[in-house]
Amino acid sequence: MSQQDVYQAAGFGQPVPRGTRPAIVVVDFSYGFTDTIYPTAADMRDAIEATRRLTDLARAKGLPVIYTTIAYHPGEVSKLAWLRKAGGMAALLEGSRLVEIDAATGIQPGDPIIAKKGASAFHGTGLAALLTGAGVDTLIVTGATTSGCVRASVVDAVQSGFHVLVPADCCADRAKAPHDANLYDMHQKYADVTDAADVEAWLTSV
């Protein structure tokens, strides 16, 4: 039995319903992840460009576009368990350029920015309340990294009651293997993994 057959027999990989009130969450396209002068970053230009096409369209249709960034107070760095495992993240300090959203994303002054301390855009933040208040039923998740903060945000999004779409070409990681593996797993269990062209066509029709 093939890998796909195993998942299908177990009932995974069902299509995700698409509602009538989508929003886009752009996860951690901050300079600390996108500008390769920093050791925590990787070349994410293609994913940023693909994401920007979607966010520009969403704004034109009056749909919410929300960005996230990881930002630590210096006093938190020695106390957070995640930073003992992922020590490079300790450089993402409040007020530094590393936590600023990359201007190439096309972020606008009216776009909310959710500051977080961990991987998920939902954990310890007001994101779920913000989306619920906006009447959102379907969440499009893009950003970085696919295997880390994108995946964690997708898992929490579906557990918070949202239908989730992940355009693969709008996500980026530091290596191809974890990027591909996590896209596959998200598609089987938590979201529909698709591409920017499909999401763009759907947003146009909403």
120 vs 86: CA distance, rounded Å = 15
**Element housing 171 (H / E):** strand 171-172
149 tagged catalytic: yes
181 vs 171: CA distance, rounded Å = 13
Q: Is 33 helix (H, G, I), strand (E, B) or coil?
A: helix
Q: Show the tokens assigned to 196.
A: 């920017």
Residue 202 burial class via C-beta count within 10 angstroms: exposed 0-12, middle 13-18, buried 19 and up: middle
Which string of DSSP letters, residue by residue, matches 47-114? Answer: HHHHHHHHHHHHHHTT--EEEEEE-B-GGGTTT-HHHHHSGGGGG-BTTSGGGSBPGGG---TTS-EE
Active-site position among 149, 152, 166, 199: 149
Q: Which residues are catalytic?
A: 149
